[in-house]
């Protein structure tokens, strides 16, 4: 069963009594729905405005149990009805009245949504799903890492492998194996990068 979540209206990116208010959006179609976000140790949890239905589903559109990661789909009066004069594009994102946002997330027992990344960025390595944001969040905690982007790299045996492009903090010169070993301390082995590239800016790494 989907959940209909409720909250009061608020302004974007303003902290009000410990509650952060921000925008939840799908980049491709420009949908923007005000949501309420509470700051947590591991990020933000979000609820949509009154009248918005939300589900977390797998690749076949089946609703997932609470706390399992899948695609966030939504429906409601203020959700877009389709792309202008583009029936094919509309059909690709709106199915049975639900907008498939392309955002990955999980829902807790209270109905809060934790966004974890974008579906199009998901890496499939040896049949396992790896969400780049999860790996990036771990890497950004390393004292030598100023910024990072994680992406899939084609591999004949595994389909894809996890690759991290890392911008280092000034004065730090870790070796590739040190970064990989660090990731394996906090992530399952298949999620850890198999390749680390040190770059001067993420613009040179590409997204």
The CA-based angle 29-35-40, given to 5 degrees, is 120
Residue 36's pLDDT is 43
Least confident of 38-52, 113-127, 158-172, 181-195: 38-52
Residue 121's pLDDT is 75
Name the CA dihedral angle for 89, 91, 93, 97, rounded to a multiple of 10 degrees: 140
Say which residue, 52 or 125, is predicted with more confidence. 125
150 with 135: CB under 8 angstroms? yes
In percent, how much of the chain has pLDDT > 90? Answer: 39
pTM of the model: 0.53
102 pLDDT higher than 90: no
* Tokens 């392309």 belong to residue: 102
How would residue 175 be classed by pLDDT, with cut points 50, 70 and 90? very high
Residue 111's pLDDT is 80
Residue 63's pLDDT is 95
Secondary structure, 3-state, 163-194: EEEEEECCCCCCCHHHHHHHHHHHCCHHHCCC
Secondary structure, 3-state, the chain: CCEEECCCCCCCCEEECCEEEEEEEECCCCEEEEEEEEEECCEEEEEECCCEEEEEECCCCCECCCCCCEEEEEECCCCCCCCCCCHHHHHHHEECCEEEEEEEEEECCCCCEEEEEEHHHCEEECCEEECHHHHHHHHCCCCCEEEEEEEEEEECCCEEEEEEEEEECCCCCCCHHHHHHHHHHHCCHHHCCCEEEEECCHHHCCC
Q: What's the token pair of residue 166?
A: 């890392």
149 pLDDT higher than 70: yes
1 pLDDT higher than 80: no
pLDDT tens digits, 30-85: 333 434 444 443 444 455 556 788 899 998 889 999 999 899 899 888 788 888 77
- Half-sphere exposure in the Cβ direction for 2 (13 Å, CA): 18
117 pLDDT higher than 50: yes
Residue 108's pLDDT is 86
Domains contained in the chain, CATH given: 3-118 (2.30.38.10), 122-204 (3.30.300.30)
Residue 22's pLDDT is 36
């Amino acid at each position: 069963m989907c959940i209909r979540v409720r909250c009061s209206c608020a302004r974007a990116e303003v902290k009000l009594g410990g509650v952060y208010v921000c925008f939840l959006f799908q980049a491709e179609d420009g949908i923007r729905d005000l949501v309420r976000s509470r700051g947590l140790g591991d990020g933000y949890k979000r609820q949509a405005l009154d009248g918005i239905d939300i589900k977390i589903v797998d690749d076949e559109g089946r609703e997932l149990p609470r706390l399992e990661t899948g695609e966030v789909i939504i429906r409601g009066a203020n959700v877009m009805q389709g792309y202008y004069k583009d029936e094919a594009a509309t059909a690709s994102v709106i199915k049975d009245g639900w907008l498939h946002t392309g955002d990955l997330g999980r829902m807790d027992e209270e109905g809060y949504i934790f966004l974890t990344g974008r579906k199009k960025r998901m890496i499939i390595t040896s049949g396992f799903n790896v969400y780049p944001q999860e790996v990036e969040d771990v890497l950004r905690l390393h004292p030598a890492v100023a910024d990072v982007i994680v992406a899939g790299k084609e591999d004949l045996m595994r389909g894809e492998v996890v690759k991290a492009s890392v911008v280092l903090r000034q004065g730090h010169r870790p070796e590739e194996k040190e970064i990989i070993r660090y990731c394996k301390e906090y992530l399952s082995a298949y999620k850890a990068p198999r390749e680390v590239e040190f770059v001067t800016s993420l613009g040179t790494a590409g997204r």
